[in-house]
Amino acid sequence: MAGMETPASLSRTPAQFVVLNLGPRQHALFTRAMHDCTWAAKTIRERYGVIDRPETEHHSDGVPMFGGKLSPAYYEKVFELQERMGVEVTPENYLRVIEEVKKITEFLTQNPRIEDHRITPEEDAKRTALIAGRDRKEQERVERMERMKQQVAALTPKWAQAYIIAELDKDTSDAMADYFGHRAERKVLIGFRSGKREDFKQLRQAAALSPETKHLGPDCGIYFIRGLRPDGTSAHVTAEGRAARHLDRRIEFLTQAEADAWLASHPLDAAEYPQGAKVESEDIEHRETWSMGSGLFLKRGYDHSNGWRVHSCPVGNMGYVLADLEIAPHLLSPAKETSAATPDEPSVTPGAPCQAEVKFNDEHNGVELHFAAKPAREALAALKGAGFRWSPYNHCWYAKRTPENIAQAYILCGQTPPSATVEGDGEPEPDPRGDEAGNISEDEDRYHDDGSPKVPGSFPGAWRLDRLEQSLGAPAPSPDLTHPI
């Protein structure tokens, strides 16, 4: 047996076994027996539970991960064995030595070393209180998440495809440990996004509505002054008009106009900057769409820097923020409720009065509604139900000029219809293209599904060809029944 580690308190220390003239198989049997014996000597029985409460007690047997110490009983038993049979193991006595070692192994297995990890009833009461407090906090978090889920669902409009979230990031990076990261200290719902694609325009519009993220609104960025030196180099400029030794000393502006105004009112030293200065900017629209990137978001600085971040989260996929989510005040007030605007339509103000003006288009024999802001969803449904269509060119809703449509237009605007409405004067003027265009009755549906005029002999989209001819300078007819779509 190899050298043993013995405790200093033992007066009787076993010596090493000396193996003499054993064959390979005999040596292997003896080595295996000693290995099993030392393994049993290292086994520890750990007791858990509460003292004086047998129903809570349990134990587990095992060997420490890094070997552990041998049991004191092991040294006693091996010392007694060597006193009886000596320390030499020969072909004549190796079988008897192995039998004795197996008896020691069985004794150590039945009587392992015990480590008592039981706690007192007082410690158990404290532990139970801590577990109850933790469970109570978790239950409160789940209930808070459920309430917030219902509140967000009540505020979410039907057209919303994603939530716009503002997060206050705290940099937790440690360059010495090669760790870079951040944590979100606050999460605020500031708006909603229409459409399934990411849209920085809508993110900026929502950011402008919250005081904390106003600096990420439309036309905002990081603008700074860079002075041009005679040798062709440039330097960042401080508020005093000097060269900034560090980036954190340079003067920054939110908009291009502010930077231009400061540069106009603070002329730089002509000797130091003979070529003047220029305004430069850093983009706050981040597009980290690569693997392990943070996606698309608005932020002054880089991903892990301190400050506010604005990003979107698809509807139905924000459970990780519901427990700690806040709702911006402008979303809780019905009068301030806003939504994202589409590229061709004005901004939405649901619930507000429909401020609109009724106009008549004599050229196309139509009635038009010009709104100051996009009407509510209910009004939009009523407009479409009445046969009105949206014109992105004229930014108005239009329909054929009939008494019914004129009356409906005034009703949708919250106005009283006039006592008598006048339809278009006389018959529509003849089509300049002649008889081959055909005659169209007023009762006939005059438009295709794509909004182009339904004229016999023409095809859907023919009006686009007319517009192309007009843009190229070629003479094009002016049909009486078309309306700019």
Structure tokens at 219: 């036309």
pLDDT at 467 over 60: no
pLDDT digits (tens, 9 = 90+) for 101-110: 999 999 999 9
State whether 301 and 186 are in the same domain.
Answer: yes
What is the pLDDT of the chain when averaged over all its residues?
A: 79
Does any domain span residue 379?
no
Select from 307, 336, 365 the last residue of a domain.
336
| φ/ψ of residue 361, rounded to 5 | -105, 100
Does any domain span residue 383?
no
Cβ(3)–Cβ(14) under 8 Å?
no
Contacts made by residues 77-81, CB under 8 angstroms, sequence distance 24+:
77/104, 77/107, 77/108, 78/4, 78/14, 78/104, 79/12, 79/13, 79/14
State whether 166 and 109 are in the same domain.
Answer: no
State whether 82 and 154 are in the same domain.
Answer: no
Q: How many CB atoms within 10 Å of residue 12? A: 12
pLDDT score, position 470: 52
Binned at pLDDT 50, 70 and 90, residue 12 comes out as low
Residue bearing tokens 């409405």: 421
Q: Which of 250, 254, 176 is nearest to 215 (CA)?
A: 254
Select from 336, 369, 391 the last residue of a domain.
336
State whether 165 and 309 are in the same domain.
Answer: yes
Domain range for residue 71?
18-116
pLDDT score, position 144: 87
pLDDT score, position 354: 55
Q: SS3 string of 126-186?
A: HHHHHHHHHHHHHHHHHHHHHHHHHHHHHHCCCCEEEEEEEEEEEECCEHHHCECCEEEEE
Does any domain span residue 346?
no
- The DSSP symbol for 304 reads T
pLDDT digits (tens, 9 = 90+) for 395-412: 888 998 888 888 888 887
Binned at pLDDT 50, 70 and 90, residue 316 comes out as confident
Q: 3-class SS at 286?
A: strand
Binned at pLDDT 50, 70 and 90, residue 454 comes out as very low
Residue bearing tokens 């989209």: 461
Cβ(165)–Cβ(310) under 8 Å?
yes
State whether 161 and 75 are in the same domain.
Answer: no
178: left (phi over 0), alpha (psi -120 to 50) or beta: left
State whether 80 and 170 are in the same domain.
Answer: no
Contacts of 262 (CB under 8 A, 6+ apart): 225, 251, 253
pLDDT at 171 over 90: yes
State whether 186 and 87 are in the same domain.
Answer: no
State whether 105 and 219 are in the same domain.
Answer: no
- The DSSP symbol for 243 reads B
The mean per-residue pLDDT over the stretch 181-190 comes to 93
pLDDT score, position 478: 45
pLDDT score, position 190: 94
Residue 184, H or E segment: strand 182-194
pLDDT digits (tens, 9 = 90+) for 370-392: 887 777 777 787 888 788 888 87
d(CA 370, CA 375): 11
Does any domain span residue 323?
yes
State whether 240 and 325 are in the same domain.
Answer: yes
Q: SS3 string of 342-393?
A: CCCCCCECCCCCCCEEEEEECCCCEEEEEECCECCHHHHHHHHHCCCEEECC
Please tell me the total count of domains within the chain.
2
Does any domain span residue 108?
yes
Does any domain span residue 137?
no
State whether 236 and 95 are in the same domain.
Answer: no
pLDDT score, position 209: 92
Does any domain span residue 469?
no
Strands 44-50 and 113-116: parallel
The mean per-residue pLDDT over the stretch 40-48 comes to 91
The mean per-residue pLDDT over the stretch 430-447 comes to 40
Binned at pLDDT 50, 70 and 90, residue 465 comes out as very low
Binned at pLDDT 50, 70 and 90, residue 334 comes out as low
Binned at pLDDT 50, 70 and 90, residue 345 comes out as very low
State whether 83 and 166 are in the same domain.
Answer: no
**Most confident segment among 218-232, 337-351, 465-479:** 218-232
Between 120 and 273, the higher pLDDT residue: 120
pLDDT at 52 over 60: yes
299: which strand partners?
A: 309
Q: How many CB atoms within 10 Å of residue 465? A: 13
Does any domain span residue 210?
yes
d(CA 481, CA 485): 12
pLDDT score, position 178: 93
State whether 270 and 179 are in the same domain.
Answer: yes
The mean per-residue pLDDT over the stretch 33-43 comes to 92
d(CA 146, CA 161): 20
Select from 275, 304, 336 the last residue of a domain.
336
The mean per-residue pLDDT over the stretch 125-136 comes to 94
pLDDT score, position 1: 41
- The DSSP symbol for 479 reads -
pLDDT at 68 over 80: no
Q: What percent of the chain has pLDDT over 70?
A: 78
pLDDT score, position 472: 52
Structure tokens at 30: 């003896």
